Amino acid sequence: MAVRDVIGAICGFGVGYLVDVLMLKEASYLFAPSSILYLILGIAFGIGTSVISGLYPAWRASNLKPIEALRYE
């Protein structure tokens, strides 16, 4: 994991926290167990959609000759 990924995650969390505080005037629910469950579900959804969206191009390229798979269309 690169340092920029960690910095991006921290900045994203910080901005999200700041938006919650500015809009709702409260962010105590952010660390509730149900919120952490939604965080895990969101990460799983992101990973799942990324894997699914990468499977079709990989499957299609695997059925081609190597030079054809590398050629730009």
pLDDT confidence tier of residue 40, bands split at 50, 70 and 90: confident
Model pTM score: 0.54
pLDDT confidence tier of residue 34, bands split at 50, 70 and 90: confident
Q: Which residue has the higher pLDDT, 24 or 46?
A: 46
Residue with token string 């894997």? 51
Judged by phi (left if over 0) then psi (alpha if -120 to 50, else beta), residue 27 lies in alpha
pLDDT of 54 higher than 80: yes
DSSP 1: -
